A and B are shown apart, each in its own frame.
Chain A
């Protein structure tokens, strides 16, 4: 009897590993990256100040990439998320001059509205989501440029008097808990994943595809609002380029984290966490290790390739070329 139990247990662990390889390999990549930079920076990477720095630089990416999982799970992408972050920050900045308390809800609402418009273009006008979001990105970038007058727009001083780091930590934790639970513990996440595998089969099994596509884009919109507001508080000013790199960074983070760009069964929140950590550690590590200067981009590119190849080892056996 014992032996049988052991066998079942062993089988379970085996299948656990087998079906989660795509998530375990990137974690391994992250560990290797941390070890590598811990050594090359002579331990500086693990000092408290560096870790705080990584947190400060990495939180916007964590916010956007977690939400990005919702969209990418269905096989779509949100190309407007970075521009949306900047736009929400600028709107929050303007609103703060009237009432500092309204700045935060205004950012969330703006973001959500942008996401809603994206999804309506996709779901009802049948514009490919890729095009819809790309156009939205141009519109938001232009709007942001105009509103900020092409330079920085300082926030009112009263907005900065809040105890920033505590507010940020609390908001971040609440956000992570909610977004993870909805994705992994409610039907929303499971149905988004189903849509990414097969829209046809999902519809025939009772998934409300339109509604879920809308939900996914509203989630990235709200996340853009949150990231925009927190970045605004941190930087103290809105600017035309604030957050603009977050679109590409989110996509890269998720792919590094082991998620398929086509969505579906590989979708998981852990991909966003691992991926945004890899990206941020890589960025800070290069600086701390004193690498680069002019060659910094080159080193970054090379390291990316190494990390990706470690985290994609899982597939090499099944590919025929």
Chain B
């Protein structure tokens, strides 16, 4: 192909403080192409997407859009030029309506004589949502009231409305349930057929192979190689990304339920009910990984929070094996229960605070001398010990967490709870948006914790991970537990799905 590419990126470099995020990366995407962009956390793929979409400025290098020099001041200029991006984390304005979000910055076409025609705007928003296959979101709704998944779809609609020449999708699918993913895949196909281009950033190698025509692989901010569709092979891509061989089987090595062991209960929940949960009882046991799986809206995420006493209107009881009732999150954390939220950025981390302050927050009592005085050195010691132990890639423990990549953020969350000497771990989608390298290390860590006799509840939408890691599996549907499976090498995904739908 020697026609002009839609976008050509030449020798782009970018630094954040002491971290070199991109080193002279080049890439070309032609019309009608879906270019995959893959690499470990911190490999710079999101950074590259952000530079193309005008959210960040490159330190060095140049870009050509349709063969002309292109250096967007901000994302608005980029979208005027036909480049739209859907970001990994939240990209909607929460306090305005869905319709207003879709047409944000383009309200002009609905203004007559200085007055905004809201009705017209909502009508168009609705037809746009219908067009992309979303039928259950109302344009008048406040964006705040939507689930995380639906907000992503609103973003998709917004980006699609502009009919961009270049559409950048940054790990959006990890936030979407199956239905939403299909909507996105069909949109990508449409865009491709219209002769436009897509840059698809993801961690999911199977998805990448399914969706993309070509893939660019990045490692530690540098370009590794470009593969054509015919060359794409999961284990090849993995090893290129990580720079070493990764076994296909990175889950646990043992495959049977070990019934010779005595599992003592760690946390006992009885008859839990909220508006999303119906009479749920379960037991998390020491030395065991309990998997909880279901569709995204089945109530399993709420169950995770219910177990740490988060809901004030919870009926039923949660108690630790020592008899202490878990009535609120303070008690839960004092009783050494760790909770990792699915919504990492807004619930598990203080984004603008340093790595140090994030790790130390639950442990401040234990860092205090004479019961109240915290020295700088004790803070530094605790935080740097745990950030090193989990191999958090950062320039300094004073670095704000928001500068870290997704996987490193998750490592900070885990460092925080390990540092707090947690005994019971409630992990809601602990590997969401995280690449194979870090995923593998999280799985290893879970096995270690299990072997140390800690109790683990892993809530996940990924069946492979649930089957690969759990001793026992609970399925959930419409707020109720529907079945319990024991670890078994013959267990198939289809066996489990039956109890989820």
Contacts and interface: CB of A to CB of B under 8 A. Distances in A.
B416 A197 contact: no
28 contacts: A11-B395, A12-B396, A15-B395, A15-B398, A18-B17, A19-B354, A185-B374, A186-B372, A186-B374, A190-B357, A190-B361, A190-B364, A191-B361, A194-B350, A194-B353, A198-B346, A198-B347, A198-B351, A200-B347, A202-B361, A203-B310, A204-B347, A205-B361, A205-B362, A206-B329, A206-B333, A264-B352, A264-B353
A265 B375 contact: no
B317 interface: no
Contacts of A201: 346-350
A265 B310 CA distance: 25
B254 to A, nearest CB: 33
B341 A204 contact: yes
Contacts of B398: 15-16, 19
Given A186-B373, A197-B351, A320 B74 contact: yes
Interface string A9-33: 0011011101100000000000000
Most buried by A among B73, B333, B353: B353
A237 interface: no
Interface of A: 11-12, 14-16, 18-19, 181, 185-187, 190-191, 193-194, 197-198, 200-208, 264-265, 320
A15 B330 CA distance: 33
A193 B373 contact: no
A206 B336 CA distance: 10
Interface of B: 17-18, 73-74, 308, 310, 329-330, 332-334, 339, 341, 346-354, 357, 360-362, 364-365, 368, 372-375, 395-396, 398-400, 416
A205 to B, nearest CB: 5
A151 B362 CA distance: 52
B269 to A, nearest CB: 18
Contacts of A190: 357, 360-361, 364, 374
B353 A11 contact: no
A234 B334 CA distance: 48
A247 to B, nearest CB: 26
B365 to A, nearest CB: 7
B341 A15 contact: no
A193 B360 CA distance: 13
A107 B384 CA distance: 45
Contacts of B364: 187, 190-191
Contacts of B396: 11-12, 15
Contacts of A187: 364-365, 368, 372, 374
Given A11-B396, A190-B361, A208-B330, A265 B353 contact: yes
Contacts of A194: 350, 353, 357, 361
A15 B17 CA distance: 8
Nearest to A208: B330
B351 to A, nearest CB: 7
A181 B372 CA distance: 10
Given A14-B18, A194-B357, A200 B329 contact: no
Counting from the closest, the 10 A-B pairs by CB-CB distance are: A206-B333, A187-B364, A197-B350, A15-B396, A265-B352, A320-B74, A186-B372, A205-B361, A206-B362, A19-B398
A19 B398 CA distance: 7
B318 to A, nearest CB: 15
Given A12-B396, A197-B352, A200-B346, A186 B18 contact: no
A270 to B, nearest CB: 15
A181 B350 CA distance: 23
Given A181-B373, A203-B329, A320-B74, A193 B334 contact: no
